[in-house]
Structure 1
């Protein structure tokens, strides 16, 4: 690895001679593939019976190492959203944030979606998740990953943190800020990032991170939790940004996070004033953990009562424990682009859509949360706030299109269902050639010649998408943009 000389000098000074050599040696090793099981689809204990896994990621109960030869991104379960391929250290922020079903949660820098899908799994369909990213291009993979995971109770926006702060002051119970950073912790995994590194970039990112955290603090409810993370080793972006935030926001305090399998405490000596409480932060160093470089800090906002918990919070305990609006109205666009939505009361449901949706058990409970953007129908999360004037990429769960006198269900709806929640479904084993044909967009022959109409196509008990059956043939309706090449 051809590391910049300034970077090498900095790391050698931070780590010391012997440990610096260990760090350099870590570039010669790999920990194989890693995945996080999607609890919206399957519990880990049930999943691991089907895969030969090589151990759990100690800081994430749903994360696992896999060293087999099979490419996990090619397996049908990947397309079914049963698991998400994620770097081990990147699993920590969502695991450490104490999200509970029913919470209002914000993922402020959400793309490409690994952490948002993990937060959604913790919510278990209850509460509300706002996944935001300021980059329109990065919102495209975010949208796909959220739909593939079967998330029902989220809204995706493409806004600046400042604008969101003006709208949602004191609104969220839990906030995740996985901030843009200099990426030093990812040099082994993504060597191309080395080229853009410079001391000036470190300073630029530190300034940006502090601005983002200031906006996040404005949106935090009293008593709520804010998790800040980066994938860099730079003290300016880690301990010193934490120090700056605490000095500017005296109503926030640091909470202790788990120490396990090589995770280290934050370094008071790397702050400007030697703050001892940054020991509650956590550093992931690639020569000490089976993962890349990462940093995490958990803040709690005071609720008027002195309640700073100094005990180490384990993951299982954690899980229990006005801006002027823009006058420009966004037109509805296809996936990945922005939409403008507002909540509509007493919406008239087209007959064809009602007839289709009546086959889904939850339909009667969903009816009062339906909105339409032209021909597209969406299910808003319960108690969803008003997003008028904001750039909305996805307004809840996309149900399908009302076209003249017919209704065409969406790929997103298929991924959010279970086979028992729709009366017509066909299922094939993962190794069946029919699954491969379906993922490539081909027509599939089925045994039940009497099956007619819209049908949920599944691999084992996991939906992959829709098909339309007629006389023993299933016409493929799998999303063309998702097809296996």
Structure 2
């Protein structure tokens, strides 16, 4: 049962949108517990949960029969899955329908907390690069943690206002704008959002969304894509923004094929250029929360110019690209640096990034406020290298280090940052695993060990 009554203005708008009988089914669904679903990280090989149901439009997503204690599940902390409501996973189906190059460059403009960013990261795999942006500092930190645990190393995180991206216009193969909204689609999941809803807030959100879209519209390459989504139902935050995009930028419609069995509602947004397909998720029709999504394609342009790339003359006040010969330097004996990666040093932090994206990353680094990129391998402390948690959680190899497989109970103690005993391991740095997945580092001292799990990530639950 919802804690707060639904606002009358909202009920009237939903009645007009759904009709009397469908509105009753919608309201009944809001009284039911919210479904629980997760999306597996295909790169980390966790098996599908027992007694779960697959989500039709998202092949790695599963509906759970009940909500477990994710906090006490080592798989969760290893980045083997992301707790994401099912409707959001529709993005996976959308991306698979687009005509994209072999190695796409993508932008998630409003990325925190990272659900759709980690989905895009898996879609891009080893070939693509994602720029995930979040302007709010505290939310940016959450995005960073989730990206690190996902572990693919194909993401650059920035903290910029959308207006700052004007210098990267005509750059991306696709841009996702998952815009902040009035949250009508989350009323069941987050009853507090009901109390915060008002017609005035809907108009405020629409103005914010319109500004973001005005900045985002120039960012895809000609014939690139813009994906717009909200977790709300009203046409002001949804169709009106689509009409504005079409009127001001001439975007073309993109229809996404859907299976009728999925229960997704497809309708037409009428614009001055014709009908544009849009997609809504209602909780009485799908096993997920409320969502709106539309896909548009930027028209061709004769004056398309790529942004300048930095290349060999890269200069940054704090970030240094390390030369290739560093791989043979005696100070790097334990890194086993791969040839297809480029390496950077920021202060005493060492990072790895796929070499194919060097020019683009250096373009971004000189123009944007970069918060994280690739995989942070670790830190220098005087002449000693300290392996970092991001490297442990990543897919990058670590063959020079001893590995200790922990039990579930040992892993929970490790994640609580409690001491653990590694009686079989040699002294020195040890990578601790849970069911083959890297969790972090321990410095084995023989009769005791130092737990290097990040303090800010530790489990606080008993």
Q: TM-score range by the shorter chain?
A: 0.7 to 0.9
Match of 1:357 among 307, 324, 335: 335
Match of 1:8 in 2: 11
Match of 1:327 in 2: none
Q: CA deviation at 1:213?
A: 1.9
- 1:254–1:299 contact (8 Å) kept in structure 2: yes
Q: Give the structure-1-normalised TM-score.
A: 0.83
Match of 1:20 among 18, 23, 42: 23
Match of 1:55 in 2: 53
SS of the residue aligned with 1:142?
helix
SS of the residue aligned with 1:47?
coil
Match of 2:414 in 1: 438
Cα distance change of structure 1 residues 189 and 349 upon mapping to structure 2, 3 Å threshold: same
Gaps of 5+ in 2: 309-315
Q: CA deviation at 1:405?
A: 1.1
- 1:71-102 alpha-carbon deviations (Å, 9 max, x no partner): 23421100111000011112223442346762
- 1:130–1:155 contact (8 Å) kept in structure 2: yes
Superposition pairs of residues 98-177 of structure 1, within 5 angstroms: 98=98, 102-164=103-165, 166-177=166-177
Cα distance change of structure 1 residues 222 and 197 upon mapping to structure 2, 3 Å threshold: same
* Residues in 1 aligned to 2:317 and 2:92: alpha-carbon distance in whole angstroms: 29
Q: CA deviation at 1:291?
A: 0.5
Match of 1:413 in 2: 391
Q: In the alignment, is residue 208 of structure 1 matched against residue 208 of structure 2?
A: yes
Match of 1:297 among 294, 297, 302: 294
Match of 2:352 in 1: 379
Q: CA deviation at 1:198?
A: 1.5
Q: CA deviation at 1:417?
A: 3.3
- 2:334–2:401 contact (8 Å) kept in structure 1: no
Q: CA deviation at 1:217?
A: 2.0
- 2:283–2:289 contact (8 Å) kept in structure 1: yes
Structure 1 window deviating more from structure 2 (341-350 vs 222-231): it is 341-350
Cα distance change of structure 1 residues 76 and 352 upon mapping to structure 2, 3 Å threshold: farther
* Residues in 1 aligned to 2:204 and 2:67: alpha-carbon distance in whole angstroms: 41
* Residues in 2 aligned to 1:62 and 1:406: alpha-carbon distance in whole angstroms: 41
Q: CA deviation at 1:203?
A: 1.8
Match of 1:182 in 2: 182
* Residues in 2 aligned to 1:471 and 1:137: alpha-carbon distance in whole angstroms: 39
SS of the residue aligned with 1:12?
helix
Match of 2:446 in 1: 471
Match of 1:284 in 2: 281
- 1:248-289 alpha-carbon deviations (Å, 9 max, x no partner): 222433333424421011244xx576x7623x2111011111
* Residues in 2 aligned to 1:257 and 1:167: alpha-carbon distance in whole angstroms: 34
Aligned positions, number: 436
Match of 2:85 among 84, 87, 93: 87
* Residues in 2 aligned to 1:206 and 1:178: alpha-carbon distance in whole angstroms: 13
Structure 1 window deviating more from structure 2 (458-467 vs 92-101): it is 92-101
Match of 1:344 in 2: 321
Q: In the alignment, is residue 370 of structure 1 matched against residue 367 of structure 2?
A: no
Cα distance change of structure 1 residues 215 and 484 upon mapping to structure 2, 3 Å threshold: same
- 1:389-434 alpha-carbon deviations (Å, 9 max, x no partner): 52221133212111111011111111113677454211134x3x21
Superposition pairs of residues 61-76 of structure 1, within 5 angstroms: 61-68=59-66, 70-76=68-74
Cα RMSD between the aligned structures? 2.6
Gaps of 5+ in 1: 306-321, 324-338
Structure 1 window deviating more from structure 2 (458-467 vs 413-422): it is 413-422
* Residues in 2 aligned to 1:181 and 1:341: alpha-carbon distance in whole angstroms: 36
Cα distance change of structure 1 residues 92 and 259 upon mapping to structure 2, 3 Å threshold: same
* Residues in 1 aligned to 2:20 and 2:318: alpha-carbon distance in whole angstroms: 57
- 1:424-479 alpha-carbon deviations (Å, 9 max, x no partner): 211134x3x21122111122223425x22211100011111111123364431111
- 1:428–1:458 contact (8 Å) kept in structure 2: yes
Q: In the alignment, is residue 403 of structure 1 matched against residue 406 of structure 2?
A: no
SS of the residue aligned with 2:59?
coil
* Residues in 2 aligned to 1:375 and 1:420: alpha-carbon distance in whole angstroms: 20
Q: CA deviation at 1:294?
A: 0.3
- 1:136-165 alpha-carbon deviations (Å, 9 max, x no partner): 11101000000011031211111111111x
- 1:239–1:267 contact (8 Å) kept in structure 2: no
* Residues in 2 aligned to 1:454 and 1:417: alpha-carbon distance in whole angstroms: 18
Match of 1:335 in 2: none
Q: Give the structure-2-normalised TM-score.
A: 0.87
- 1:19-40 alpha-carbon deviations (Å, 9 max, x no partner): 1111111112135421000123
Match of 2:313 in 1: none
Q: CA deviation at 1:172?
A: 0.7
* Residues in 2 aligned to 1:80 and 1:143: alpha-carbon distance in whole angstroms: 14
SS of the residue aligned with 1:148?
helix
* Residues in 2 aligned to 1:341 and 1:219: alpha-carbon distance in whole angstroms: 27
Q: CA deviation at 1:343?
A: 5.4
